Amino acid sequence: MSEIVLKISGLQVNYGGIQAVKGVDLEVRKGELVTLIGANGAGKSTTMRAITGLKPYSEGDIQYMGQSIKGVPTHELLSRGLVMVPEGRGIFARMTIYENLMMGAYKRNDKAGIEADIERMFTFFPRLKERATQLAGTLSGGEQQMLAMSRAVLSQPKLLLLDEPSMGLSPILVDKIFEVVREISQEGITVLLVEQNARLALQAANRGYVMDSGSITMAGDAQEMLHDPRVRAAYLGE
């Protein structure tokens, strides 16, 4: 079996006096696209913030590439290839699209490779190419999501965390974003995807986890979960 890129063991995270994440176990292997689905407030985004060092955790451990990353600062994790596209996107509004993409590649020095990757993302998202010199803050929500994903890919992630990439987007843009998520995964980038659109997430993923009230309640092959009556009733509206 391929190596484990991310291993979460017994993770507990508190918000104030509330335990938002309750003893979560989860793993992602190299080359996999794994999705974490669940209702609003289930603890999915809190888990993502804990992985990236943005939210301290009280119990348990998170291992990335075989090493515990408890207490490792977010910028250090980024330089090790652990990259998140957060809910809300986090683009640089006063910089152009092109400048945002270059910020993704700021640790790289392979100029030709950077330009090739930018062109590849422009192939995925022609709208970004048309607006390359436009300030990112003037883009629509969907365009900002395209830019945030493209910038993350430019940083050559070993593990890409996507937190609610379809949030607030039109159905056409949601389909486009998921098409690119699948492409990125097929190119070998390991992906952990948190997503409210359970159907699209499970259709794209290799494996899935269901989170409910801070706990993992189900895990397994994504295609099997897609046809599981419990998942269909709770998350697919059937």
The span from the CA of 35 to the CA of 237, in Å, is 18
User: What mean pLDDT comes out for the span 20-27?
Assistant: 97
Q: For the residues of 160-178, what is the DSSP string, one character each?
A: EEEESTTTT--HHHHHHHH
Question: Is the predicted pLDDT of residue 26 greater than 90, yes or no?
Answer: yes
Question: What would the two tokens of residue 26 be?
Answer: 């989860």
Domain-embedded: residue 144: yes
- The pLDDT mean for the chain works out to 94
The span from the CA of 52 to the CA of 50, in Å, is 5
Domain-embedded: residue 74: no
Work out the pLDDT band at 147, boundaries 50, 70, 90. Answer: very high
75, with CB counted inside 10 A (0-12, 13-18, 19+), is exposed
SS3 108: coil
Give the per-residue pLDDT at 2: 81
Give the per-residue pLDDT at 55: 94
Domain-embedded: residue 52: no
**pLDDT tens-digit readout, 51-69:** 999 999 999 999 999 999 9
Question: What would the two tokens of residue 79 be?
Answer: 């330089």
Question: Is the predicted pLDDT of residue 238 greater than 70, yes or no?
Answer: no
User: What mean pLDDT comes out for the span 84-91?
Assistant: 85
Neighbours of 67 (CB within 10 A): 10
The span from the CA of 95 to the CA of 187, in Å, is 28
Domain count, the chain: 1
Work out the pLDDT band at 42, boundaries 50, 70, 90. Answer: very high
Domain-embedded: residue 70: no
- Among candidates 58, 27, 23, which has minimal Cα distance to 43? 23
Identify the domain containing residue 114 by its residue range: 32-40+81-235
Domain-embedded: residue 229: yes
Give the per-residue pLDDT at 5: 98
Task: Name, in order, each residue with C-beta under 8 angstroms of 237's C-beta and a sequence gap of 6 or more.
Answer: none
More confident residue, 1 or 145: 145
Domain-embedded: residue 96: yes
SS3 48: helix
Question: Is the predicted pLDDT of residue 1 greater than 80, yes or no?
Answer: no
The span from the CA of 218 to the CA of 228, in Å, is 11
Q: 100: alpha, beta or left, given left = phi > 0 and alpha = psi -120 to 50?
A: alpha
**pLDDT tens-digit readout, 152-180:** 999 999 999 999 999 989 999 999 999 99
Give the per-residue pLDDT at 156: 95
Give the per-residue pLDDT at 33: 98
CATH code of 87's domain? 3.40.50.300
Residue with tokens 């993923």: 205
Domain-embedded: residue 54: no
Output Rg (C-alpha) for the chain, integer angstroms: 17
SS3 75: helix
Q: 52: alpha, beta or left, given left = phi > 0 and alpha = psi -120 to 50?
A: alpha
- pLDDT over 70 for what percent of the chain? 99
Residue with tokens 């075989």: 66
